[in-house]
Amino acid sequence: MRALLYAATVLMVMGLAFWAYRENYRTQAAIDDMNRVQNEIAGLREQLGVLRAEWAFLNRPERLRELVDLNFDRLRLVPVQADQFVDTTHVDYPAPREPDPLSDADPMADVDGPADGADMAAAPASAGAAIPDRVAPSPQAADAADPQGASSPTTARRPVPKERQP
């Protein structure tokens, strides 16, 4: 009986030694993978720093001004000025369409587009006219905003230049 106990103990110690040996190699492999990932992250951070420096170099204001001047004929870029901005209360938005109270049709039917899959080019021409390319306030809106007719510097509107004069 004692010999059986000794044999079981020896087998158990050998099994635990084999398990410890395998766990040691797994741990070393995991540490190597972690070091490889950390080195990769360090390389990527270095590349990111280089890319940020290149971006800052390419976006220097004097360089961009030179490029605008060189390509003015094609791009028609002009400097942004403070007088080109207005308050949103001065924008003449189109009036919302009111639903027909007599119609029992679905009010959301025209939102999804044509139900039969028809081409959007077949839509009436007046559909695109509701959204202008440039929003300009109407004279009635300007008079309503300034009933005395005196315009203050914050409400004065100047036209946005269409193209820069060389």
Distance CA 101, CA 123 (A): 23
**What ranges do the domains of the chain cover?**
2-68
Question: Tell me: the pLDDT tens digits for 57-115?
Answer: 999 999 998 999 999 999 888 888 888 888 888 888 888 888 777 766 555 655 555 55
Distance CA 27, CA 20 (A): 10
pLDDT given at position 43: 98
Structure tokens at 38: 């950390």
Could you report how far apart the first and last alpha carbons of the chain are, in Å? 108
Residue 132 predicted with pLDDT over 50: no
Residue 82 three-state SS: helix
Torsion angle in degrees (nearest 10) through CA of 22, 27, 29, 34: 170
pLDDT given at position 111: 54
Q: Which residue has the higher pLDDT, 1 or 48?
A: 48
Q: What is the Rg, in whole angstroms, of the alpha carbon atoms belonging to the chain?
A: 37
Helices (H), the chain: 2-58, 61-70, 72-75, 139-145
pLDDT given at position 27: 98
Question: Tell me: the pLDDT tens digits for 20-73?
Answer: 999 999 999 999 999 999 999 999 999 999 999 999 999 999 999 899 999 999
